[in-house]
Amino acid sequence: MTFSEPERLFKLWSYTVSHKTLLLRSDTDLKLAPAPRIEIYVGHVDTMLVHSLLYGLEIRKATERETDEISERHQVENDPTATYLLTSRDKKGFLISGRPSWRKAVREIDDPTLFDFSQPWPPGPDVTWGDVD
């Protein structure tokens, strides 16, 4: 499944070196109007080219050809099972990582992350969620 939210502003929210995890987050649409929060969590990040602001976002698994191009251009591991493309309105990036997961729910700006792993799974009925595969 491809993740696509073309009318949202995403920010590179955090990267944890010791756990190799990445969190992208959106709290607003492109006009900066409040909207339900969307968070994208990625674990086992080996390599990334991710811009700090993304105007709209699509994440999908790279094709074999795209994986070959990324590997050659950036001198990185060629792993078609773990390469994902990130496309925004004017920027492109990639991840060589575990499968990206997303969650969406109405939250206040200061509320904790939607990826609080101490909470029960699956999340409550107010949270929608999925994976990119």
Name the helix (H) or strand (E) containing 64. helix 64-74
Q: Which domain holds residue 58?
A: 3-131
pLDDT of residue 44: 98
pLDDT at 54: 97
pLDDT in tens, the chain (133 residues): 899 999 999 999 999 999 999 999 999 999 999 899 999 999 999 999 999 999 999 999 999 999 999 999 999 999 999 999 999 998 999 999 999 999 999 999 999 999 999 988 888 899 999 999 9
- Give the global pTM: 0.95
Spatial neighbors of 118 by CB under 8 A, at least 6 apart, are: none
If you compute the radius of gyration of the chain from its CA atoms, what whole number of angstroms results?
Answer: 15
pLDDT (0 to 100) of residue 123: 86
* pLDDT for 6: 97
- Count how many domains the chain has: 1
For residue 120, the model assigns a pLDDT of: 87
Q: What does the block give as tokens for 132? A: 């990119």
